Structure 1
């Protein structure tokens, strides 16, 4: 491949640069040969889309995206590749877990020489900017492009989000929102430049007693509903970022963990004190499927709901 004519592509003056918008269902059709095998498009996650790909050897046309894009390799073997960011070229030997970051509106070309399995996270710039402002009152934050290299935290976040998507559980929305927030803060700390000398992260002191009572009451009153982190944080008049951090400081548990524990505790009471069927209890404590309810109950209590009921009524 001749490096002066990078990746054999036409120059910007010879060919119009494609613009890709991941709010569109078929966003990948112009740059990849195959559609994603799994996508979160229909789940409408707040600020984030996840797509899982299995693609043959391919060279993308030069393009820009309207979202920040994070690519995580899932292929267990090395994939030889080449990438261009705004005219900067680099060879890549991509291994499982390697992460590439393509900021919104960055001119990008990628070519890989063999089959590739990868996960794409596309993050809405407006959502990211909101997280940046909430984290440190910074509006002029810019994500830096990053060629493929390891980042264990981003890899883990991607894999957990993939598992949640595959589980297809409505109860995981708070967890997904928490993971998205963590991803944003990690990007802010490690992959951003700003006019400020340092990002400011205020020391957490936990929620006030009043806000903590308000949050817990709201959670308890809505356990049967599709609770979201955004709903709870709005109830107490806080941003998702600050609420999540301070709630954990106050309770020792992240909001999604606390909600799950509350659901299981309520289920235990219903199993012990009523003759309500397990399927009905599942609905009353906010689980969308009995199998997920059983799995979470077993994970936290050590036995199934049915076995627990039999045990406590002996």
Structure 2
């Protein structure tokens, strides 16, 4: 998606995003070179709203369970799923309607265009860089840099600040390489794997039979692939193994059930496919960082 962007106008990005979320961005206090801002890793719920053009580029990555996400502007539309290893990139000045299911965990970088242009000058050879909008686009390099930034930015010491500034330079280089309309470098090969309809079919099956043991052979049969080719294609399409995807669905559903105080945790474990409370608690804690009991108390 390549758009004509007005570089002279735009809303404050953290403020504009905060207005449409149930929780504002978890901004780090330090303002970095060129006015760059970072967030820590934080979570928010679903949202369905129009986001105005913003005064900086916004780059984000995702953690935890995958959710449906889409962007629409006139006849243009993009849709994908939020998954670890992917990024969403909103170029400066780009507006549009967003529909994102939740809850999701994210971290953001608010990158002023001047910082990008300065960092990209060597690669661009004096030409202006125009970024390409992305939604949940597989880019493990950018995603990993964003994850490191969210972690280091919270430290606030001199060594962390130096690391953060250098990591932002690296992020700018990757954005030019992989998400620039200038064609400065060869574009990465397109992602291969299951089609969107195949991922949806497998996901629907997982949700329907979540309380039962689900075998890889069953899932592979849904899309007419061998077990081996299914596992490879599924990971290429989603960034996760079928087991990781199923676990994320089970934990997401268990969170919903834990909000019902009258439902015993043992019953919840069985409803989402765990045979014992201990195996459920272990899986839940690995994903959320707390036990089901602690999670329920925090609601």
TM-score by length of 1: 0.51
Summarize deviations over 1:50-87 as a string: whole Å, max 9, x none: 1243111111323111111112112x212122222564
CA distance in 2, matches of 1:150, 1:113: 19
**Is 1:31 the equivalent of 2:20?**
yes
**Is 1:20 the equivalent of 2:11?**
yes
Matched residue SS, 1:99:
strand
CA distance in 2, matches of 1:81, 1:126: 29
Asked if the contact 1:85–1:145 (Cα under 8 Å) also holds between the matched residues in 2, the reply is: no
CA distance in 2, matches of 1:106, 1:86: 12
1:27 positional shift: 4.6
CA distance 1:87–1:53, change in 2 (3 Å): farther
Matched residue SS, 1:167:
coil
Count how many residue pairs are aligned between Structure 1 and Structure 2: 176
1:113 positional shift: 2.2
CA distance in 1, matches of 2:160, 2:149: 10
**Is 1:133 the equivalent of 2:121?**
yes
CA distance 1:114–1:198, change in 2 (3 Å): closer
**Is 1:120 the equivalent of 2:108?**
yes
**Gaps spanning 5+ residues in structure 1: where?**
1-17, 200-314
**Is 1:146 the equivalent of 2:137?**
no
Q: Match for 2:158 among 141, 160, 170?
A: 170
Matched residue SS, 1:43:
coil
CA distance in 1, matches of 2:20, 2:93: 15
Does 1 or 2 have the higher relative contact order (CA < 8 Å, sep 6+)?
Answer: 2
Kindly report the root-mean-square deviation, in angstroms, between the aligned alpha carbons of the 2 structures. 2.4
CA distance 1:159–1:56, change in 2 (3 Å): same
Q: Match for 1:108 among 96, 112, 123?
A: 96
User: 1:44 maps to what in 2?
Assistant: 31
CA distance in 2, matches of 1:92, 1:158: 19
**What does 1:209-248 correspond to in 2, within 5 Å?**
none
Q: Which sits farther off after the overlay, 183-192 or 160-169? A: 160-169
Asked if the contact 1:79–1:113 (Cα under 8 Å) also holds between the matched residues in 2, the reply is: yes
1:91 positional shift: 2.6
**Is 1:56 the equivalent of 2:53?**
no
CA distance in 2, matches of 1:185, 1:86: 31
Asked if the contact 1:79–1:93 (Cα under 8 Å) also holds between the matched residues in 2, the reply is: yes
Asked if the contact 2:61–2:147 (Cα under 8 Å) also holds between the matched residues in 1, the reply is: no
CA distance 1:168–1:53, change in 2 (3 Å): same
Matched residue SS, 2:130:
strand
CA distance in 2, matches of 1:81, 1:179: 27
User: 1:232 maps to what in 2?
Assistant: none
Matched residue SS, 1:180:
helix
CA distance in 2, matches of 1:107, 1:27: 11
Summarize deviations over 1:255-304 as a string: whole Å, max 9, x none: xxxxxxxxxxxxxxxxxxxxxxxxxxxxxxxxxxxxxxxxxxxxxxxxxx
Q: Match for 1:80 among 68, 84, 87?
A: 68
CA distance in 2, matches of 1:130, 1:155: 22
CA distance in 1, matches of 2:157, 2:165: 14
1:166 positional shift: 2.5
Summarize deviations over 1:218-256 as a string: whole Å, max 9, x none: xxxxxxxxxxxxxxxxxxxxxxxxxxxxxxxxxxxxxxx
Q: Which is greater in Rg?
A: 1
Matched residue SS, 2:164:
helix
CA distance in 1, matches of 2:179, 2:30: 28
CA distance in 2, matches of 1:85, 1:169: 42
